[in-house]
A and B are shown apart, each in its own frame.
Chain A
Amino acid sequence: MADATAAVCNLAILEALSGDAVQEISESYVGFCAATESLLSGIGDLSAGSEMARHVHRLCKHQLHSLVREHFLTSLEENFERNGAVKFWQHFEPYRDISISEVDRSHACDDQIQEVLCKALEEISLENQYQKKCLLVLVDALQTYKDQVLPAKCGAVTKKEFLLSKYQLMISSVLMASLPRHFPEILRWYFKERLEELSATMAGESTDHFYSQENDEMDVDGNNRMPSESSRMDIDGGLHGDFSENKLIKNIGKVVCDLRGIGFISMAEDAYASAIFLLLKAKVNDLAGDDFRSSVLDSIKEWIQAVPLHFLHALLSFLGDSFSYERSSDIKSPLASRPLSCYPGSDNLSEGLVRWQLRLEYFAYETLQDLRIGKLFEIIVDYPESTPAIEDLKQCLEYTGQHSKLVESFISALRYRLLTAGASTNDILHQYVSTIKALRTIDPAGIFLEAVGEPIREYLRGRKDTIKCIVTMLTDGTGGNPNGTGNASDSLLEELNREEENQENGAVEDNFNTDDKQAWIAAACWEPDPVEADPLKGSRSHRKVDILGMIVGIIGSKDQLVNEYRVMLAEKLLNKSDYDIDSEIRTLELLKIHFGESSMQKCEIMLNDLIDSKRTNSNIKATIGQASQTSTVSEDSGNSLDILDATIISSNFWPPIQEEVFNLPGPVDQLLSDYSRRYTEIKTPRKLQWKKNLGIVKLELQFEDREVHFMVAPVHAAIIMQFQEQKSWNSKKLAAVMGLPIDVLNRKINFWIIKGIIAETMDQEGEGHIYTLLEGSGDSTKNGGDGGSCEELLAVDDEGEGSVASVEDQLRKEMTIYEKFIMGMLTNFGSMALDRIHNTLKMFCVADPTYDKSLQQLQSFLSGLVSEERLDFKDGVYYLKK
């Protein structure tokens, strides 16, 4: 090919050639070829150079420059292919099967590979350099000829550079063409090992480094002329560290240099970049781990500064880097929170290094973000403690902007781990609250929260006890967790408080004295909504993250929530023995702020009832003194009105109260009627109607050898009082005296049996049980030893039934009116779908009790009827059960 081009070029002068000239050319050419051969084969010996120069001159005379160049390069290539490349690759042949992922590679093997790599690179570099020298000989020869012919021309430099770059290209193409597949792996692995080694040295050294710095400062500041012993030692240590580190970097630098020499620039860069990233990833994983209680971002950044950047800095400066054309100390990384002046010579930090830093930090952010997102569920479970991890994640997301990744992964984690039948409603709610709080940190505008919260809300709507749990959380300091494990921060009560404070602050802000400056500040603080925001959901101002609002949003209407709260409040108030309702008043005031005065009106009346009761009660007590002379009540029973406190309620405003009829023991009944008589005297024409099953009784049981104190429901007290006179009762008789159905009595008396006060035996003569009072302490300690200690127990009824009808019961009661309508329409229309029933009820039940139930309420009622086998539900429509 070379000859062909030469021939084409010289076509014009071919005719002018004489026979002698042709003779001369062919002779010189043969001589030139031989000289080239001997030059290339002669190792380290350039003696053939002068011989070759002569031939070159002669050929050049006939304008055959290009022929000379082409031939020489071709010979170089062939020679390199034969001697350099093949040998070079042969070094790596034994490691063909080694893959980088092999974990259990022995250390010996590591060293071996390192050695082989260095040796091979050295060899090929030598070869390369020698060939370069040969090339220079040729260049020289061409130059000297040119100088003779055209003394004043100056194209030499370009010619030389051209030839050299051509040669470089040729070499790397030869190597690349025969590149074995495992070589990049070997390179990557090499850099990884070296970096790890470096990282280890750095880690050992960094402490020393800080030490010595500190000491240096001390010396300077304190003007201490006498270097302390420790400081000298530290400096020694530091020097040693620097030395070994420098050696290591030099080593790596040499490898990189050699690789560049043979044209493997990008491959080398790829290899050490991937090694650095691998190391960084491992480091992030190592640092972040499963500990969410500390922020790791700073230490990761520090590590990036300390290890990979230090390495790159050293490497680039060792190579006398080509990047360093521009001093870029004023180009600062936007990600670098502090200037990089802590390293010697960092003022001539190259732009390349800044780029590297940006890449590394972005990678670190992304890695950490992925790690944290993967564990977001756990992080939120330990929410208040895991705040540092949340903060880290927030920072990461600010840089990477991959919020959607968070939303997707978190939703799937929720579906898989939280929104399952096994999770208790309380836990779900707590997690929901924690999620709201945590995501509020990450995303103050609440856009991602909306996306994440929706599945939880959806799920909670399907749970029956959601409202109850929410109300308990709202009002209970313990966060409504029955196990008492819920910490105070879960409590929504606290959230109510916060809300109040916010509103107070807000009121101040809304004053009209905002001047222009404040307006300007407000305008400057404005930030656009994230692009993911749903434009339909209104602007930021309306979307303020409001935990209570989001919780109420689960239920749909605040009325239901208020209703449930009322039931709970009633239960609580009825079980109070003193009239201390301070905390309830406070809660109510907070709820009023949130839900409005009017919706809490009934609750307020309930609380007022308690306050009034307290006053009335003390008024009635006050009359005892005057009335006692005229009183017809015999005082011989030993009971005075002092022991009775009444709660007088306006029953219209209270939730329906469960009635339970039973006979109170005579003296107590007497007491009650005396109380009502006095009440009527004060408050004519009002009369008291006792709800005998409500309230609590403080009881002191005296036995022969001990005293036991209890706080029990009136029924329990009434039962045990029957045993005062008669130690043993037949269950039937007792039921008759108590005015209770026998099964109810059996259930209620269980309380005392469990407490070890009463023993149950079967009646010998017939059906029924015999209940006997246990006098001795021996039995009681066996049955329930702690009954003896003066404990206060508020007896909860065995089935947990409250004194107030639950919301579900109320609903059921209210729905019975509509039940007839539903039956009526189904009789006439055969089958109807849920929404048609709903609509028909809405249309025709407008009279007295207007139909105001939601579709969900209707559905649950209908499914109740289905389970009672009064309706059939098939293919989405309801039928009458025939």
Chain B
Amino acid sequence: MATVNGHTEDRYQGNTPAAAPTPKQPIPTAKSVDTQSVLKRLQSELMALMMSGDSGISAFPEEENIFCWKGTITGSKDTVFEGTEYKLSLSFPNDYPFKPPKVKFETACFHPNVDVYGNICLDILQDKWSSAYDVRTILLSIQSLLGEPNTSSPLNTQAAQLWSNQDEYRKMVEKLYKSPST
């Protein structure tokens, strides 16, 4: 147990800086006639997101490319993630919204369903995707996932095991957390 713990911890520390140069999503080329409608859809999603005024979630397209967004989620109150802020990257496929966007944590997140590379295990981002979802719902889902992890199929077993001990978990989160703004 201890060795496993130590091992994962090593991996964590070793990988935190490595998380920064994540391979950039290649800029999707507008080849299908549908690109226009995808653009429109993303535009309106941005508008809706901006107007919704939900606290704790936010996302905005990166410069010059509306298919790549940066997202920001703050940990909900009364969870172990309270007071933390995580950056995400969202990259939309050309056939969005028929396929889900690829969503990753850019900031290291110690969470049972998030691996060291920032990949998220969330059903609506995989097989349960529906075109009825949008950026806002995705972000809200991830925000709630932070407080309610699915420990039965963990990507980070150490986190899954530690989850039951919320005080220890909180300490771990604080220890590993690096504010993205610093």
Q: Report which A residues bind B (CB closer than 8 A).
A: 820-821, 823-825, 827-830, 836, 839-840, 843-844, 846-848
Contact = CB atoms under 8 A, between A and B. Distances in A.
Contact of A824 (B50, B180, B181): B50
Contacts of A820: 50-51, 53
Given A827-B72, A828-B59, A847-B47, 6 more contacts: A823-B58, A825-B60, A828-B60, A829-B60, A843-B63, A844-B61
A843 B60 CA distance: 12
20 contacts: A820-B50, A820-B51, A824-B50, A824-B59, A828-B58, A828-B60, A828-B69, A828-B70, A828-B72, A829-B60, A829-B70, A830-B180, A836-B63, A840-B60, A840-B63, A844-B43, A844-B46, A844-B60, A844-B61, A847-B47
A213 B51 CA distance: 94
Interface string B47-65: 1011101000011110110
Contacts of B61: 843-844
A846 B72 contact: no
A806 to B, nearest CB: 26
B43 A846 contact: yes
Interface in B157-182: 180-181
B125 interface: no
Contact of B43 (A828, A829, A847): A847
B149 interface: no
Contacts of B63: 836, 839-840, 843
Contacts of A839: 63
Contacts of A823: 58
B172 to A, nearest CB: 25
A68 to B, nearest CB: 105
B47 A824 contact: no
Interface of B: 43-44, 46-47, 49-51, 53, 58-61, 63-64, 66, 69-72, 87, 180-181
Contacts of A836: 63
Q: Which of B44, B47, B61 has the most CB of A within 10 A?
A: B47
Contacts of A848: 47
Contacts of A825: 60
Contacts of B64: 843
Q: Which of B58, B60, B61 has the most CB of A within 10 A?
A: B60
Contacts of B180: 830
A825 B61 CA distance: 8
Contacts of A846: 43
A827 B60 contact: yes
Nearest to A826: B60
Q: Which of A823, A827, A839, A847 has the most CB of B within 10 A?
A: A827
B59 A844 contact: no
A824 B66 contact: no
Contacts of B69: 828
A433 B15 CA distance: 68
A820 B53 CA distance: 8
B43 to A, nearest CB: 5
A836 B58 CA distance: 19
B66 A827 contact: no
Contacts of B66: 843-844
A270 B58 CA distance: 86
A829 B46 CA distance: 15
B72 to A, nearest CB: 5
Nearest to B51: A820
Given A836-B63, A844-B66, A827 B43 contact: no
Nearest to A839: B63
A820 B60 CA distance: 11
Contacts of B51: 820
A202 to B, nearest CB: 81
Contacts of A830: 180-181
A86 to B, nearest CB: 93
A824 B49 contact: yes
A828 B50 contact: no
For the complex of A and B, 6 pairs with smallest distance between CB atoms: A828-B70, A827-B58, A828-B60, A820-B50, A825-B60, A824-B60
A830 B72 CA distance: 10
B14 to A, nearest CB: 26
A827 B53 CA distance: 13
Nearest to B181: A830
Contacts of B43: 844, 846-847
A747 B61 CA distance: 49
A822 to B, nearest CB: 10
A830 B64 CA distance: 17
A839 B49 CA distance: 19
Contact of A828 (B44, B47, B71): B71
A836 B59 CA distance: 17
A846 B61 CA distance: 13
A848 B48 CA distance: 12
Nearest to B53: A820
Contacts of B53: 820
A843 B43 CA distance: 10
A847 B44 CA distance: 7
A848 B40 CA distance: 12
A71 B59 CA distance: 112
A847 B69 CA distance: 18
A824 B55 CA distance: 11
A838 to B, nearest CB: 12
A829 B64 CA distance: 14
Nearest to A831: B181
A398 B95 CA distance: 73
A827 B64 CA distance: 18
Nearest to B59: A828
A830 B180 CA distance: 9
A824 B58 contact: yes
A248 B155 CA distance: 118
A846 B46 CA distance: 11
A847 to B, nearest CB: 5
A839 B65 CA distance: 12
A829 B59 CA distance: 9
Contacts of B46: 844
Contacts of A828: 58-60, 69-72, 87
Nearest to B46: A844
A847 B50 CA distance: 12
A820 to B, nearest CB: 4
A825 to B, nearest CB: 5
A844 B43 CA distance: 7
Nearest to B58: A827
Nearest to A821: B50
Contacts of A840: 60, 63
Nearest to B69: A828
B157 to A, nearest CB: 31
B108 to A, nearest CB: 17
Contacts of B50: 820-821, 824
Contacts of A824: 49-50, 58-60
A843 B66 CA distance: 9
B24 to A, nearest CB: 16
A844 B181 CA distance: 24
Nearest to B66: A844
Nearest to B52: A820
B137 to A, nearest CB: 17
A830 B51 CA distance: 20
A830 B179 CA distance: 12
A846 B49 CA distance: 15
Nearest to B74: A827
Contacts of A827: 58, 60, 72
Q: Which of A825, A843, A846 has the most CB of B within 10 A?
A: A825
Contacts of A821: 50, 60
Nearest to B61: A844
A839 B62 CA distance: 12
Contacts of B72: 827-828
Contacts of A829: 60, 70
Contacts of B71: 828
A843 B49 CA distance: 16
A836 B181 CA distance: 19
Nearest to B44: A847
